[in-house]
Structure 1
Amino acid sequence: MSLSSRARVAALLEYSPLTSEAVITDVRHLLSHGEEALAFDTMCSWIYEDALPITRQYHASLVAMADEMDTPRSVQRLDELLID
C-alpha cells in the first residue's frame, strides 16, 4: 500500500532536522491545503538555507520524493549537507 504524497511529505517533515516552529507550521499549513509540492519545496529550502545536517538515508528519501513529485530542484544542493 502506497502512502499519499501528503502523508509522505508529512512523514519527512516529522523526521526533518527543522527546528523553527514557524517553518514547520508553514509546511503543515501548505499540506493541509493540498499544496504538497510547495510544502516539500519549502521544507527542503529551509533545510538548505539553515544548513541543517542530514543523513544519507534522509537525503535518499528526499530525492525519492522529489523524483516522485517531479520537483528535482527541491533537493538540488542538499547533498552538501550530508553527514556520515
Structure 2
Amino acid sequence: MITDVRDLLSHGEEGSAFDTACSWIHEDALPITRHSHAGLVAPADEMGTPRSVQRLDELLID
C-alpha cells in the first residue's frame, strides 16, 4: 500500500494518494482518534476528497 501511495505522489496525484491511504486505514479497520480524524478533514476538503475521511467515522475511538 505504501508503495502505491508513494508512486501516486511521485506522479503528482496527491488526492489519489490521500484517498488510497484513507482506504488502507478503512479496509484494515484501524482505530483512529478524533484528534487524528480532525487533522485529516482539512486536507481532504482541500484536495476535493472529503468522502475519503467521512468513511473513517466508524473507526473513531475516544
Larger RCO (CA within 8 A; separation ≥ 6): 2
Q: Which structure 1 residue ranges, 5 or more long, are not aligned?
A: 1-22
Moved over 6 A (4+): none
CA separation in 2, counterparts of 1:66 and 1:53? 18
The Cα RMSD (Å) is 1.0
Aligned-pair CA distance for 1:78: 0.5
Q: Deviations over 1:32-66 (max 9, x none)?
A: 11000000000111111110011111101111111
Which amino acid is the alignment partner of residue 50 of structure 2? Answer: P
Number of residue pairs matched?
Answer: 62
Structure 1 residue aligned with 2:30: 52
Structure 2 residue aligned with 1:67: 45
Structure 1 residue aligned with 2:10: 32
Q: Which structure 2 residue ranges, 5 or more long, are not aligned?
A: none
TM-score normalised to the size of structure 2? 0.89
Is 1:83 matched with 2:58?
no
CA separation in 2, counterparts of 1:64 and 1:41? 13
Structure 1 residue aligned with 2:20: 42
